[in-house]
Amino acid sequence: MAKFLSIFTMRNLLVLSLALNLSLIMRVFLDGEKQGFFFSVEQRGPSMGEDKEAHATQRTLQSVSSSSGQEGMEKVINLDHGDPTMYEKYWMMMGERTTVVIPGWHSMSYFSDVKNLCWFLEPEFAKQVFRLHRVVGNAVTEGRHIVVGTGSSQLILAALFALSPKDGSEPMSVVSTAPYYSSYPVMSNHLKSGLYVWAGDTRSFNKEGPYIELVTSPNNPDGFVRHSMVNRTGGILVHDLAYYWPQYTPISSPADHDLTLFTVSKATGHAGTRIGWALVKDAEVAKKMVKFIELNTIGVSRDSQLRAAKILEVMTNTTEIGCSDSGESFFEIIYHLMAERWRLLQAAVNNGSMFSLPDFAPGFCHFLQQETQPQPAFAWLKCEDDAVEDCESFLKGHKILTRGGRSFGVSPKYVRISMLDRDINFSLFLKRLSIIQS
């Protein structure tokens, strides 16, 4: 169901602001972190003028500069992983609605649903996945089997197992277009499997015969929309759509592929829950994936599936018609948060000439019913300075941990930087970028 991006009323802003403040205060108590300041989240509609935007950015950067002492500059900021802790404050704002209560005698059996092809899939989780996709419009669910996994990593491995012939004379090639997700090569090769083997960047792949192409869209690390590149006979596609959600990219149409992967960690921010799902067209492929997960972990935590179901349910509820006015819409709030972070990052980068960011084309988002900009979960930053060959090492010298281009099959002039960390770290990161360029 499409939703309209509404300008927040004053009342909504107040409720949101109070909730966020409360959440931040609670974080201080809960984590005991030394948090000298907070990044000010400004919820704004798309109609705000550029001059206001620039002014707001300047103000926030100044506030970051002036309010953080020397202590903050000593702290190592780890933006290497895509740990989605930014999402904590939204769920704190939602209070008890997503609390799960599991009595000791519940969900003890290995089996969730013996009648389902995926016998370890919780029916309630499946129901909420289908409902969420219908509401967001980012994936066709009709005629698909859901295979739940312990995060989408397990599902990638399950897909490689399911799609490789068991009696092949040599391992099936696994390819992806560089820059590709840094874990693909090592996931494919760490067991020296005779079923599949990493064959690198699609652009240099010229081997005859069947292959598996991993298509990550929007792409990790660079955020661009991706399509298959090889397009040869015998190619099997696995679409990793972990980031195909309205907060990161325009939802152009429902994805309609043979095998599509999603994960709770990037959709809702619950990385610690370790739940992902695959939408699989071919029942035989789904069965082989299920077999892999049986051999690998004998199913998937039922507790985690129940928790994920609850969170997806509330998330979808907030986007239903009539909920927008409450100022609670998950996708609207997170979209604005990401927009604000990207605006600040662009401003910090544009303040000098040492760094650059990708140029994204806007697209029409059918969920938000308006043109939106891609605002990926990672910033794919390039060190433009000729003196800097290795951007990761350079930033590490400024106590910013990132992941360098070589891990993704490209030049070390690039680094991947998480945009989903807590406010405190994102603000420190912006501050250090400014200092580096000053």
- 268 CA to centre of own chain: 9
Place of tokens 């991006």: 5
Interface with a copy of itself includes 29 (CB under 8 A)? Answer: no
Count of residues that interact with a copy of itself, criterion CB under 8 A: 66
Q: Which stretch binds a copy of itself (CB under 8 A): 106-114, 248-256, 326-334, 335-343?
A: 106-114
- 208 CA to centre of own chain: 34
Interface with a copy of itself includes 151 (CB under 8 A)? Answer: yes
Interface with a copy of itself includes 103 (CB under 8 A)? Answer: yes
348 by Cβ neighbours in 10 Å (0-12 / 13-18 / 19+) ranks as: buried
Cα 359 from Cα 376, distance rounded (Å)? 12
Interface with a copy of itself includes 298 (CB under 8 A)? Answer: yes
Binding test (CB under 8 A) with a copy of itself, winner from 38, 39, 91, 426: 91
- Per-residue binding letters, 64-83, with a copy of itself (x by CB under 8 A): -----------------x-x
Nearest partner of 329 among 51, 41, 2, judged by Cα: 2
Binding test (CB under 8 A) with a copy of itself, winner from 299, 327, 374, 409: 299
Q: What is the DSSP string of 345-398?
A: HHHHHHTSSSEE-PPPPPEEETTTTEEE----SEEEEEE--TT-S-HHHHHHTT
Cis peptide preceding 179, ω within 30 of 0: yes
Interface with a copy of itself includes 163 (CB under 8 A)? Answer: no
Interface with a copy of itself includes 145 (CB under 8 A)? Answer: no
Binding test (CB under 8 A) with a copy of itself, winner from 154, 177, 220, 427: 154
Interface with a copy of itself includes 94 (CB under 8 A)? Answer: yes
Nearest partner of 182 among 219, 218, 231, 237, judged by Cα: 219
Buried b (16+ CB within 10 A) or exposed e, 192-201: ebebbbbbbe
**Least distance to a copy of itself from the beta carbon of 45, Å?**
27
Closest to a copy of itself by CB, 265 vs 372, is 265
Interface with a copy of itself includes 92 (CB under 8 A)? Answer: yes
Interface with a copy of itself includes 230 (CB under 8 A)? Answer: no
Tokens of 116: 């389902």
Q: Using CB under 8 A, which residues numbered 305 to 344 contact a copy of itself? A: 307, 310-311, 314
Closest to a copy of itself by CB, 35 vs 346, is 35
Binding test (CB under 8 A) with a copy of itself, winner from 12, 23, 60, 176: 23
Interface with a copy of itself includes 61 (CB under 8 A)? Answer: no
Nearest partner of 272 among 264, 280, 282, judged by Cα: 264
Q: Using CB under 8 A, which residues numbered 256 to 285 contact a copy of itself? A: 265, 269-275
Cα 397 from Cα 168, distance rounded (Å)? 48
**Least distance to a copy of itself from the beta carbon of 221, Å?**
16
Tokens of 67: 């309010």
Closest to a copy of itself by CB, 58 vs 109, is 109
Binding test (CB under 8 A) with a copy of itself, winner from 34, 58, 69, 110: 110
- The identity of residue 294, as a single letter, is E
139 by Cβ neighbours in 10 Å (0-12 / 13-18 / 19+) ranks as: buried
What is the binding site for a copy of itself (CB under 8 A)? 23, 81, 83-85, 87-89, 91-92, 94-105, 107-112, 150-151, 153-154, 157, 161, 183, 186-187, 190-195, 265, 269-275, 292, 295-304, 307, 310-311, 314
